[in-house]
Structure formats: structure tokens, C-alpha cells
Structure 1
Amino acid sequence: MLTAVELHAVHKVHRRGTQEVRALNGVSIGFPAGTFTAIMGPSGSGKSTLLQCAAGLAEPTAGRILVSGEDIGRMDERARTALRRERIGFVFQAFNLVASLTAAQNVELPLRFAGRRPDRAEVDLALSAVGLGERTGHRPSELSGGQQQRVALARALITRPDVLFADEPTGALDTTSAREMLAMLRRLVDQQAQTTLMVTHDPVAASYADMVVFLKDGRIADRLELEPADRTRPGRIAAQMARLEA
């Protein structure tokens, strides 16, 4: 199986005055293409730092990171920016929509930033894929939180990215909207082989993944492979999290 993202002995140290905080401590892991991985761990375990480094949003202190076989550490900032715009999609807890733009215009933004002329049919199709085909002309204030996050998802997918990175994508949603978003992410993996890496603190959210990677103190503490039945039984994930937090 092809590997979409690889981390090789990745360290990330934050310096605060004379103090050093080691967010990642020699992490080595590969994320297979076409799979859904959840990343969990106690607060301060390094899970968001791992995602940011893997996505090229933060530069590791040491180690190598490959996205679709390309070493992003060997790229200059211009090349990394192009990689993020064209081959990586992002969904965050905050929807980060432009309030003055319609849903369709928000979805178009990555194409415009990449210097591509948006195809309206392509944009409409992206919104239809997340169940918002009739809301293309609505602004964020006219949409619910769940609908806004679906616009953010359509925006992330419009460039057909190699990898989708999601950082607590259901954190600001109610239970029903969160489950709809997770089901959508799962369908993208199952039907379109969309490689997805998701940071979450929620065992229910993690249960939609193929694998859960647990971090503690900047290191990989455990991995848990999941079956479809685990989506109705997130107890194994919750129990492992409790052991890490003990």
C-alpha cells in the first residue's frame, strides 16, 4: 500500500526564553494512502504539532517529512506554499469562512489562491457532495454551524488534495452535526479513497477511523486498528485514552 505521509524521527522543540518544550520526540510513522487515521492523546501530547508539521504548517526541529513521496524539508517556502494549496486540504475546529462571501465563493478561494479560474460547475458539485447544493448563494450567517463546517470541507476538497488534515473538525458542532460530518469524512475515504488525518479528543469521532494513533509526551504510545463495529462501540478507544491520562 502506498504511503501518503511519512514522518522519520521527527522532533519539534519550542523555545520559551531559556526553557525548551519538546512537543515531538523522535516520531516515526507512515500513514497509508486511502485510509482514515485519528490522532489522540492527552493535552500537550503533541497531536496538533504532529498534524501541523505533517501538513507543512510548522517546521520540525529535526527529522524528515514526506508528503506523496516528496521531502517537504527540501522545499523552499514557495514550493511548500504551492504544496499546501494544491495537494493538501485543511479543516479546522473554527470554520474560517469569509463572512462577506457566499458558500460558493468561499469554496472557490483555494482555486483563486492557486491562480486557477474556478469552474462554477465544479464548485456546485463540491457543495452538492456535502449536501449543500441548494445553499450555494448563502452567506455563513445564513447557515448553521454544521452547514458552515460542510462548506469548509467542500473548500478543503475542491483542489482534490492528496491528503486531508482535520484538526478537531467536530469540536464546535452539536452531536447531530458532528455525526453527520464524521459520516461524510468516512464516505470520502470509502468511496473516493481520500487519505485523511484527524486530530480529535473524542473517542466517538476517533471510532470512525481505520486506525487510532495515541501520543503521549511527544511520542507514539500506542496504535489501535478499528473495525466497522467499533463505530458503535468507542469504549476501547476511551479506555486507552483513560490509561494514557492516568
Structure 2
Amino acid sequence: MELRAVHKVYHRGSQAVQALDGVSIRFVKGTFTAIMGPSGSGKSTLLHCAAGLDEPSSGQIFVVGEEISGMDEHRRTALRRDRVGFVFQAFNLVASLTAAQNVELPLRFAGRRPDPAEVIRALAAVGLGERTAHRPSELSGGQQQRVALARALITRPDVLFADEPTGALDTQTSREVLALLRLLVDQQAQTILMVTHDPVAASYADVVIFLKDGRIADRMELDQADGSKPSRIAAQMARLEA
């Protein structure tokens, strides 16, 4: 997917706030990209525009070769349903439904009859093959996020967007979820774009894009064998926030 000269301006009363200022970037298929930056740098706006949740003020956005900027809401909704997946800090599970029923939801919304075997495989892939009949209240926070991840992947999206996916989890559970995301990239060539404020979370990515004032301030390529990744990322964040 690709963003070309993307601007996003929000109007608050008589004031215009430029959240994105001419961002151009390409995300290679089968790679894991982390987006970082100080508060107000435009991280979430970039993700929301790239995912079709928000429309840019100007510029072009392409998802799997299809331009989504300028699409009407009906077509954007169809694209989000069929081509992209979402994982957020809040798990957004339906409390009255089982894990399997929560995973089925995107298929049902698309008018497709879920294949029970496919749903079980999706939950097994995130380590919850034995928890298909459990409701969210019977699952830990990490398990609930795994259900949310299985739900995002059930449609086999071209791109998975993750907005602070480990923000509500403890350290150990966060690392388990991040390791699972890394595995999806390495074994299934899943394309992942993740917004995070956590240098440890970002260290699981192939590349970190740093934003400041709505612009790309830096880019850091990562070697997964490099144990100094979190400290290098943290140091760069400190420079941006200085």
C-alpha cells in the first residue's frame, strides 16, 4: 500500500489543524511497519486515513493498487470489510458471544456463511483452539486480544492495521501478542501497520517510521537479531520529543 502527498486538516471552530503535512510512504507487502512519534504527531491520523476510516484532505492512498482516497463511503466500507483488518487497544468483543461467534462477525457482516472449521483454525492460529466456546468474560485480556486478532484475520486481509494493540496488556502478554504478529509476517507474509508509543513493541517491526508535526521525521530499518533495538528506538523518540 502507498500514501502519496497526503494532507489531513481538521477544523476546530475557526482554527485549522494540520494533522498530516504531505506524507508520502510505501509499505511493502509482507512487512511489519511501526509508526511512532510524539503526542499529536499524526500517528493515528495516518493509520485512520491509510485504512479508509478517515478521508484525507488531499493526496492519494492506494491499498493493493486500488485508490481509496476519494471513494464514496459505500465503496470504502466494502474495501474495509474485504481487504483490511483492524486490531485496536480496546478489544471490542461482543460480551454475549463466544470467541468463535466473535470471530465469525466480519464474515456475517459481509453476507458470508462462516465455515466452522475455518473459524476454529483462525482461533487455533492464535493459540485459542480450546477456547472457542468461551465468552470474553471467561478470557484474560491477552486472550481477548487474540480473539480480536483472529477476528481481524478471518477475512484474510491484505493489510492488518493495529492501533496500540498491546496498550491494555501487561508486559508478558504484550510480548506474546507481538510475537504472534511477528510470526504472521514471517510465516504468512502478512502486511502489518502498527501505531505504538512503546519502543519495545516497535522493535518487533521491520521498520519504524517516526512522525513529528504531521511529517515523516525519520525512518529506522531494524535487524531482528539486534538486541539494542528498543534502546535505539527510545533514543530517537527522545530526540524527537526534545
**1:76: Cα distance to partner?**
2.1
Q: What is the aligned partner in structure 2 of residue 26 from structure 1?
A: 22
Structure 2 residue aligned with 1:161: 157
8 Å Cα contact 2:222/2:229 also seen in 1: no
In structure 2, C-alpha distance between the alignment counterparts of 1:86 and 1:150, rounded to whole Å = 20
The one-letter code of the counterpart of 1:183 is A
**Aligned position for 1:72:** 68
- CA deviations 1:87-119 (Å, max 9, x no partner) are 100000000000000000000000000110000
Measure the CA separation in 1 of the matches of 2:88 and 2:66. 24
Residue 118 of structure 2 corresponds to 122
CA contact (8 A) 1:108 1:118 kept: yes
Q: CA deviation at 1:78?
A: 1.4
Deviation at 1:234, TM superposition (A): 1.0
2:33 paired residue number: 37
Structure 1 residue 191 corresponds to structure 2 residue 187:
yes
Counterparts of 1:226 and 1:14, CA distance in 2: 33
CA distance in 2, matches of 1:36, 1:90: 14
Deviation at 1:231, TM superposition (A): 5.2
- Contact kept, 8 Å, 2:35 with 2:209, in 1: the verdict is yes
- For residues 165-180 of structure 1, the aligned pairs below 5 Å read 165-180=161-176
Q: Distance in 2 between matches of 1:89 and 1:232?
A: 31
Alignment of 1:71-150 (within 5 A): 71-150=67-146
Shift, 1:75, TM fit: 2.5
The answer on whether the counterparts of 2:32 and 2:193 sit within 8 Å (CA) in structure 1 is yes
CA distance in 1, matches of 2:101, 2:197: 31
Amino acid at match of 2:170: D
Contact 1:7 1:30 in 2 (8 A): yes
TM-score normalised by structure 2 residue count: 0.99
* Equivalences, count: 242
Could you report, residue by residue, the CA deviation over 1:11-50 in whole angstroms, capped at 9, with x for unpaired residues?
A: 0001001001110000000000000000000000000000
C-alpha distance in 1, partners of 2:225/2:118?
A: 35
* Greater CA drift, 67-76 or 219-228: 67-76
Percent of pairs identical after alignment?
A: 81
Q: For residue 211 of structure 1, what is the amino acid of its counterpart? A: V
Q: Report the AA paired with residue 123 of structure 1.
A: V
Aligned residue in 2 for 1:17: 13
Amino acid at match of 2:60: R
Structure 1 residue 73: Cα displacement: 1.9
| Maintained 8 Å contact 2:55/2:70 | no
Gaps of 5+ in 1: none
For residue 170 of structure 1, report the CA deviation from its aligned partner. 0.3
| 1:160 CA displacement | 0.2
CA contact (8 A) 1:207 1:231 kept: no
Contact 1:208 1:231 in 2 (8 A): no
Measured on the aligned residues, the alpha-carbon RMSD in Å equals 0.8
- In 2, the alpha carbon distance for the partners of 1:231 and 1:36 equals 18
Whole-angstrom CA distance in 1 between matches of 2:228 and 2:214: 29
Residue in 2 that maps onto 1:204: 200
Q: CA deviation at 1:85?
A: 0.6
Correspondence for 1:55:
51
Structure 1 contact 39–199 (Cα < 8 Å) conserved: yes
